[in-house]
Structure 1
Amino acid sequence: METKRLTIGGQAVIEGVMMKSPRWVSTSVRKTSGEIVSKVEAYQSLSSRSRLLRLPIVRGAVNLFEQLFLGIKSLTYSAEVVSSDDETVRDTSNWKFSLSAGLTVVVAFALGLLLFFYLPLVIANHVGAKGSIVFNLVDGLVRLGFFFAYLGMLSLWKEMRRVFEYHGAEHKSIHAYEHGETLDLESVKKYTTRHARCGTSFLLVVMVVSIVVFIFMGRPESVGERLLRLCA
């Protein structure tokens, strides 16, 4: 009887990758010495603990914040490992770190909404775009412009370009796993760096689809209507 393969997701971190299954999270980081340090932690989604958190829309919002939290936590851990010259790495499982990571997620999420959703609305309004279709096209194109400019600026940063390379390696590894290959260099390197479940690609799809959806929602005239659009 064939064993059912787990759904595996992941994220690139500084000099490494984080991989997540439904019950475990593992982060592996390469130190400056070349040694690879790994940390494995048990994981239980909040939506699996409460029927209320499994409701449609609520579940999506909960999962989004969970993934952001895990991402910040793994990035911080990788930075600690890379910058540490000895075996002492700050504990990332205590409540103080969890609180700090949680606040970071909230701030990052708020800044993301401001930059990629609210500011394009303001710009579209100030350039004098008339009518629902034109206004929402300008809003969407500005949003896409910000998104590509953001990725372009990150790629100019040497350290972040390295993270992008690990992002591609993560996709290759998941492809190999999903095709039943052994997870070694020869098996992994033949696969593409693109993956259908990539979170960055999904964000781009959401931005493009939102242009069409928002056209049918009309033009937000007040601050309150703009804030409601952010919730949408």
Structure 2
Amino acid sequence: MSSENKRMPVGGQAVIEGVLMRGPQRWGLAVRQQDGEIYKEHWDAVLRSASFWWKCPIIRGLITMFEMLKIGIRALNRSAQLALGEEEAITPLEFAGSVAVALIAVVGVFVALPVWLAQQGGDFWNLSAFSKNILEGLLRGAFFVVYVAGIGLWKDIRQVFRYHGAEHKTINAFEAGADMTPEQVLTYSRIHPRCGTSFLLIVVIVSIIVFSVAGHGGLLWKIMMRVLLLPLVIGLSYEVIRAASSIKKLGTIILWPALSFQYLTTREPSVEQIEVAIAALEEALGRPLSDYSGGEELNESRE
């Protein structure tokens, strides 16, 4: 394996009893089934370099987020079928209902509630408008951290977090040009700078700045503006991570809160879970990692 593998960054996410990986040209899914066997499948990825919009800052962040959500939901549904032995996939109506409930919960807990609490607290302490925005951002960040820490107490979620750690270790080992055996991959860090959950924490930080110039109306106005400005916040956050990842020392400082946050969203995986992550990466690249020569300048992918 060559250290030039780092010139072809790959990405992915954990799913139920498995890992989803993205290579330059396709997605690879690997899931540990109830009989212990690893099921693998792949499908073509959107070639970003061929898209005009991929060259546009901010917009490419939205494209990435949409693609990850779309493919991620598909992979989660498929992994649930395979790992849990479910025969039927979720219906479009069930899916739409789940998404609607999730969106309402997200807006309520991570948008409306912090805005309301910051407004009440700001009025009580006679804070300036900017200070209220800072308080709102801190509350939003605190809610998010508490939420992740809380779900991490659930056994099934801890298992997903272990596969998340396996995904990170596998990518770190691959980008370092390591011998891709499960035992060797296990020695690598479970922290990775392009992690999607780190991206969410950066979104919280960037939102403080963006929302501070969004105007200062009533409660409903503030909530509406935050929802409308969310695409801009997502796009800017993507550019922050993209820039920070290319500047090692400065990037480490900028991304330190997000990298530290990964100690909540990952757990140390087992050798068996590393095997699944390696299988997913091989499926995404289209050939065994032992045959991969590295050194190829390929399209960029992001976790």
- Kindly report which structure 2 residues correspond to 1:167-178, keeping only aligned pairs within 5 A, or say none: 167-178=164-175
Q: Give the Cα separation in 2 of the matches to 1:176 and 1:58.
A: 31
- Do the aligned partners of 2:214 and 2:225 also contact (CA within 8 Å) in 1? no
Question: Are positions 1:124 and 2:124 aligned together?
Answer: no
Residue 21 (structure 1) aligns with = 23
Shift of 1:107: 5.5
- Do the aligned partners of 1:68 and 1:105 also contact (CA within 8 Å) in 2? no
- Deviation per CA, 1:8-41: give whole Å up to 9, x if none: 1100011110001132111111112211111111
SS at match of 2:118: helix
With over 3 angstroms needed to count, the CA separation of the structure-2 counterparts of 1:221 and 1:30, relative to structure 1, is same
Q: Give the Cα separation in 1 of the matches to 2:185 and 2:96.
A: 34
* Code of the aligned partner of 1:28: A
For residue 165 of structure 1, the aligned residue among 159, 162, 165 is 162
The worse-fitting range, judged by mean Cα deviation, of 34-43 and 51-60 is 51-60
Question: Are positions 1:146 and 2:143 aligned together?
Answer: yes
TM-score by length of 1: 0.81
* Code of the aligned partner of 2:17: E
Count of residue pairs brought into register by the alignment: 223
* Code of the aligned partner of 1:143: R
Q: Give the Cα separation in 1 of the matches to 2:144 and 2:104.
A: 15
With over 3 angstroms needed to count, the CA separation of the structure-2 counterparts of 1:113 and 1:62, relative to structure 1, is farther
* Code of the aligned partner of 1:119: L
Q: Give the Cα separation in 1 of the matches to 2:192 and 2:217.
A: 35
Over the aligned positions, Cα root-mean-square deviation in angstroms equals 2.9
Shift of 1:75: 0.9
Q: Give the Cα separation in 2 of the matches to 1:100 and 1:56.
A: 35
Shift of 1:104: 5.1
SS at match of 1:127: helix
- Deviation per CA, 1:88-129: give whole Å up to 9, x if none: x5579xxx76x8757755664554344222321122123344
Q: Give the Cα separation in 1 of the matches to 2:69 and 2:33.
A: 24
* Code of the aligned partner of 2:148: L
SS at match of 2:39: strand
- Deviation per CA, 1:177-200: give whole Å up to 9, x if none: 111123211221111110010111
Q: Give the Cα separation in 1 of the matches to 2:112 and 2:24.
A: 34
SS at match of 2:62: helix
Residue 134 (structure 1) aligns with = 131
Q: Give the Cα separation in 1 of the matches to 2:172 and 2:99.
A: 29
Q: Give the Cα separation in 2 of the matches to 1:228 and 1:83.
A: 41
- Do the aligned partners of 1:72 and 1:101 also contact (CA within 8 Å) in 2? no
Q: Give the Cα separation in 1 of the matches to 2:49 and 2:186.
A: 35
Identity %: 38
Question: Are positions 1:51 and 2:52 aligned together?
Answer: yes
Greater relative contact order: 1 or 2 (C-alpha under 8 angstroms, separation 6 or more)? 2
Shift of 1:156: 1.3
Q: Give the Cα separation in 2 of the matches to 1:35 and 1:138.
A: 49
- Kindly report which structure 2 residues correspond to 1:190-205, keeping only aligned pairs within 5 A, or say none: 190-205=187-202
* Code of the aligned partner of 2:197: T
Shift of 1:231: 2.6
- Deviation per CA, 1:61-93: give whole Å up to 9, x if none: 2321211111111111111001228xxx5579x
SS at match of 1:164: helix
More helix by share: 2
The worse-fitting range, judged by mean Cα deviation, of 33-42 and 203-212 is 203-212
With over 3 angstroms needed to count, the CA separation of the structure-2 counterparts of 1:114 and 1:198, relative to structure 1, is same
- Deviation per CA, 1:34-64: give whole Å up to 9, x if none: 111111112225x667535764433322321
SS at match of 2:21: strand
TM-score by length of 2: 0.64
- Do the aligned partners of 1:18 and 1:27 also contact (CA within 8 Å) in 2? yes
Q: Give the Cα separation in 1 of the matches to 2:81 and 2:31.
A: 10
